[in-house]
Amino acid sequence: MTTQAVSTVPKLPFQRIMASAMTTMVKDILTRLVEAQSDFVPSEEDVERIKSDDDSVKIRFRVDRDDVKLPASIRLLVKAKKSLYMDVILDSFFKDLVVDEKTFSVTLQFSVSDRKEAHKVWQRITVPYSALKAIGVGSNNLDLVPYFEDELSETSEKVNRKG
């Protein structure tokens, strides 16, 4: 007795589907931050509340990619430390957050030291969603590496499949 198929399952690009879903989630989080800034008037109490409530958004991303735009001073620091990743925290000290189709940009406050004293400067970064490694909101963290593949991980997978 031969059984005839009554349905089919196509080859599904699972990684691409997951990356799309994760990008949508990250954009949603960042878009909500943008919307919250529209009528926000900062106060000292807000700084303390955000820190104590742990309402910050933490983002970890790869810095070894050409499409990650960092100020020269930050890029030099990252290279000197031989860092593969950089963490940014969006809490009380960010502005001009822009959420685009493939990237987000934000101006952050960095502490810069010279020989005499430390001072704070505002500098802009641009990060493609495909460079993200992790995102966290408060105590909730999500590792994005399994979903956002890049050339390095594709090369590693090919080597691992052969070996």
What confidence tier does 56 reach under pLDDT thresholds 50, 70, 90?
A: confident
Pick the closest to residue 36 from 55, 52, 22, 21 (CA basis).
55
Statement: residue 137 has pLDDT above 70: yes
Residue 90 resides in a domain? yes
What confidence tier does 150 reach under pLDDT thresholds 50, 70, 90?
A: low
Kindly state the DSSP code that residue 115 receives in the 8-state scheme: S
Secondary structure element (H or E) that encloses residue 36, with its range: helix 14-37
Residue 103 resides in a domain? yes
Residue 160 resides in a domain? no
User: Domain span at residue 68?
Assistant: 14-153
Secondary structure element (H or E) that encloses residue 141, with its range: strand 140-143
Residue 61 resides in a domain? yes
Compute the average pLDDT of residues 88-106: 93
Model confidence, pTM: 0.78
What confidence tier does 96 reach under pLDDT thresholds 50, 70, 90?
A: very high
Kindly state the DSSP code that residue 129 receives in the 8-state scheme: G
Whole-number mean pLDDT of the chain?
83
What one-character-per-residue DSSP string does 49-113 give? HHHHHT--EEEEEESSSTTSB--HHHHHHHHHTT-SEEEEEESSSEEEEEE-SSEEEEEEEEEEE
Q: Are 133 and 142 in contact (CB under 8 A)?
A: no
Residue 80 resides in a domain? yes
User: In this predicted model, what pLDDT tens digit does every residue of 27-55 receive, in sequence order?
Assistant: 999 999 999 888 887 777 776 766 666 77
Residue 51 resides in a domain? yes
What CATH number does the domain containing 49 carry? 2.30.30.220
Nearest-angstrom CA–CA distance, 142 and 135: 5
User: In this predicted model, what pLDDT tens digit does every residue of 114-131 receive, in sequence order?
Assistant: 777 888 899 999 999 999
| Number of separate domains in the chain | 1
* pLDDT on residue 158: 40
Beta bridge partners of 85: 62
Residue 5 resides in a domain? no
Residue 121 resides in a domain? yes
* pLDDT on residue 162: 39
Side-chain half-sphere of 64: how many Cα atoms within 13 Å? 11
Statement: residue 161 has pLDDT above 60: no
